[in-house]
Structure 1
Amino acid sequence: MVTNEVKSGDGEAVIADKLRLIDAVQRLGVGYHFEIEIEETLEKIHDMGEGLFANIDNKGTDLYREALRFRLLRQQRFPTSPEGFRKLKNGDGRFKEWLSRDVQGLLSLYEATHMAFNGEDILDEALSFAAKSLKSIGLPTHEKISPSFQKQIDFALRLPAWKCPPRSLARHSIDNFYLEDSTLNQYLLTFAKLDFNMVQSFHQQELRELSE
């Protein structure tokens, strides 16, 4: 359900779809059902090399993809270099102007930068830039975004995904499911709701037994 097998010939868009699905499964709190599949998929993506998304310095969705790849691999403890993020800067050391208009990319970058190790200055700088840019979204000078996406931004600024307690993240993600409306995503959302209610019922039963 989570992924099909990753192949060496898969293009960037195919790999990005696999990463996005893994992210959704984990956010919805059902990743523990697919731990082996997730591990195997990310291992194959890691083995493809750091240059998988070579066009991160171009406008579009490449920032979102690369930041998501970086975060998911680091969360899974695969060695991953942040050096590709230096492409986000101009020769004068400032972050490129178009980045502040790539809202989805900014949010993905913001969450990725929280995986920084000590001494990774590019991630520290990117964190400051992404946080400042995200906080400016919604001001009159910025383009409009959907209310649901604004909720995602507000939630992430309070507590990035990987720092958030899994059940709290699942509850938020179920209430604000953000993927496109498709059959697969509706099945995934239904499954996540059933799983959340089942786990909640189990914990309530445990509390009743303890109280007795």
Structure 2
Amino acid sequence: MTKVVLASNNQKKINEMQHLLSDINLEIIPQSFFNIGEADEPYQTFVENALAKARYASKKTNLPAIADDSGICVDHLDFNPGVRSARFAHENATDDENLLKLLHDLEGVENRNAHYYCSIVFVTTPDDPQPIICEGIWKGKIVEQPRGSNGFGYDPIFEDFMTENTAAELDPQLKNKLSHRGQALQQLKLKLTIKYEQK
């Protein structure tokens, strides 16, 4: 079984991604197992930040790596917080602080449409010239009051257009089918299956 490092120290994200990739013949090991700190995310696009994280984790472990960069993009805020979603309130912000800042910034705003975006990449080596890149987009809107106790980040205030539930109200299995990360991981799963079955 091929070992792959998962370039994240976010335990909720790790749990979600390990569950979604559990039926692939890969051993997914979080980078925290190797005591690797967070990589810098200096770029303005999700895909560049995801690549930076994957290449960093691969270089530190000499293993293939998977990384994602994701965030919430709000129409009224010119698609911010975007790549700064985890640091929207301030550099070391908690989920609650970020969520409350977003609600504050949208007070009295009629157009509350938003989408979650995710870019997931896989690199075989730190210098892999052909990384696998997958993306997912989940459309919805920002509600005025948090609802639900599942999920993390902005999930309690992001309402899915199709179900009219917030991401935090959805059953985790349904969320994994609908979500930006779930969409991107399904694409990645297919590409990795093909990649490793051909060897």
- Indicate the TM-score class for this superposition, using the shorter chain for normalisation: 0.3 to 0.5
Higher helix share: 1
TM-score by length of 2: 0.34
Bigger radius of gyration: 1
TM-score by length of 1: 0.33
